[in-house]
Amino acid sequence: MPKKSVPAPSPAPALRPLRGTVIVTRQAHFNAAHRLHNPTKSAQWNTDQFGLCNNPRWHGHNYVLEVSVRGQPDPATGYVIDLTDLNALIQTHILSHCDHRNLNEEVEFLRGVIPSTENLAIAFWHQLAPHLPSGKLHCVKLYETPRNFAEFYGPDAG
């Protein structure tokens, strides 16, 4: 039985990169303890201001962190940023310092900062922004609880 000839594969179609700004987000989680306390204020002021969150024996949260990067997809990959790379940056610059830690006492980049959700979002931005290989940091969103979260869009945001 004669062999049928197999046609040569047709050349791959030319890529047609699409233009547009895209925001991609990577989510991570960590567990940490903290105490909301202003050492320049009285014990009564701290109790009145922060209530149970001023517990001198600390309290903890199961935080959810969302890091969003904005940019144009690379024509060769279609990525704004490789999310594996973004995950590694989050791990290196935030989670390795904060997960299962006391944020007031064990995290050097939080030294002297009241670790409110708002301040943590700002601090995390500054930990990540200089290290992005592509795109621009768009937002750091931190959930302290499913109903309480803060979003930071950078020091230049209106």
Positions annotated as catalytic residues are 53, 100, 144
Residue among 87, 71, 91 nearest 79 (CA): 71
Backbone angles phi, psi at 97, to 5 degrees: -95, -35
- Using left for φ > 0, alpha for ψ between -120 and 50, and beta otherwise, residue 152 falls in beta
Tell me how far CA of residue 11 lies from CA of 5, 14, 17, in angstroms: 18, 9, 18
Strand partners for 152: 140
Beta strands at 59-71 and 22-34: parallel, antiparallel or unpaired: antiparallel
- Strand, coil or helix: what is 48? helix
